[in-house]
Chain A
Amino acid sequence: DAKTTQPPSMDCAEGRAANLPCNHSTISGNEYVYWYRQIHSQGPQYIIHGLKNNETNEMASLIITEDRKSSTLILPHATLRDTAVYYCIVRAPERGGADGLTFGKGTHLIIQP
């Protein structure tokens, strides 16, 4: 079972920042938080990951609370192409990924024109 809780859907206006929350209250000290998204009819796409520090790349920013029990993915200037299902995943780096990724149902983000 997924170790994360996300709202099933969210709306955001085009050009505004989209803030997607994720609760992972049972996260262990060695587990990272990963975000992927899946645009309709495509495979999931890696966005960003972090352990405890905030992270930023060309796609998004990841804000992790100090107690690490929740995080927020921020898309700074959402476009229509950001409409997708966003998955928050926690996993530990041991075993070289042999446990795979555990996807929940994610958040369906709809960007409104």
Chain B
Amino acid sequence: ETGVTQSPTHLIKTRGQQVTLRCSSQSGHNTVSWYQQALGQGPQFIFQYYREEENGRGNFPPRFSGLQFPNYSSELNVNALELDDSALYLCASSLLGGQLYGYTFGSGTRLTVV
């Protein structure tokens, strides 16, 4: 198994721009979720996708959106970037929502908004 891979590893964007982050799920996993981790904090749940539809969302505004593709890979899109969006963005894949075998996380994309 190859695990979860995320790209790019680092990114710098200007306030007001849009960004797309990508994630390839672990083989055999059908659920993907995204988390935002600010410096010194634990990860915060953004949303989860199952069967290409969002089936759960945390306390994030609509300018955070996503996609899941038939091969279970995923994208996180953030519009109108704000300085506070600077964080580590983590993708996690799982089977059946992770309650039996846990989530497999990628190493994240470090986004800096200037």
Interface residues of A, Cβ cutoff 8 Å to B: 2, 32, 34, 36, 41-47, 49, 85, 87, 91, 93, 95-106
Q: A96-B55, A98-B55, A100-B33 are in contact. Are A44 and B43 (CB under 8 A)?
A: yes
Question: A100 and B99: CB pair below 8 A?
Answer: no
Residues of A within 8 A of B4 (CB): 43
Q: How far is the CA of A12 from the CA of B99 in the complex (A)?
A: 30
**How far is B25's CA from A39's CA once the two chains are assembled, in angstroms?**
20
What is the chain B residue whose CB lies nearest that of A101? Answer: B45
- Residue numbers of B with Cβ under 8 A of A are 4, 31, 33, 35, 41-48, 50, 55-56, 58, 90, 92, 94, 96-99, 101-108
CA distance A105 to B28 in the complex (A): 30
Contacts of B33 on A, CB cut-off 8 Å?
97, 100
Name the B residues within 8 Å of A42 (CB-CB).
105, 107-108
Provide a sorted-by-A list of 18 A–B residue pairs whose CB atoms are within 8 angstroms.
Answer: A43-B4, A44-B43, A87-B42, A95-B56, A96-B31, A96-B55, A97-B48, A97-B96, A97-B98, A97-B99, A100-B48, A101-B98, A101-B103, A102-B45, A103-B42, A103-B43, A103-B44, A105-B41
Given the known interface contacts A43-B90, A101-B43, A105-B41, the answer about A96 and B107 at a Cβ–Cβ threshold of 8 Å is no
Name the residue on B nearest A47 (C-beta): B102
Provide the bound-state CA to CA distance between A44 and B45, in Å.
13
Which of A46, A98, A106 interacts with B101 by CB under 8 Å?
A46
Q: Judging by beta carbons under 8 Å apart, are A96 and B41 in contact?
A: no
Are A99 and B92 in contact, CB atoms less than 8 angstroms apart? no
Question: Which residues of the other chain, A, contact B55 by a CB distance below 8 angstroms?
Answer: 95-96, 98
With both chains docked as a complex, state the minimum distance between the C-beta of B7 and any C-beta of chain A, in angstroms: 14
The answer on a CB contact under 8 Å between B107 and A49 is no
Q: A43-B90, A46-B104, A49-B102 are in contact. List 10 more A-B contacts (CB 8 A).
A: A34-B102, A36-B102, A42-B108, A87-B42, A96-B99, A97-B94, A97-B97, A98-B55, A98-B97, A105-B41
Q: Are B97 and A96 in contact (CB under 8 A)?
A: yes
* CB of A25 to closest CB in B, whole Å: 20
Complex Cα spacing A18 to B94, Å: 28
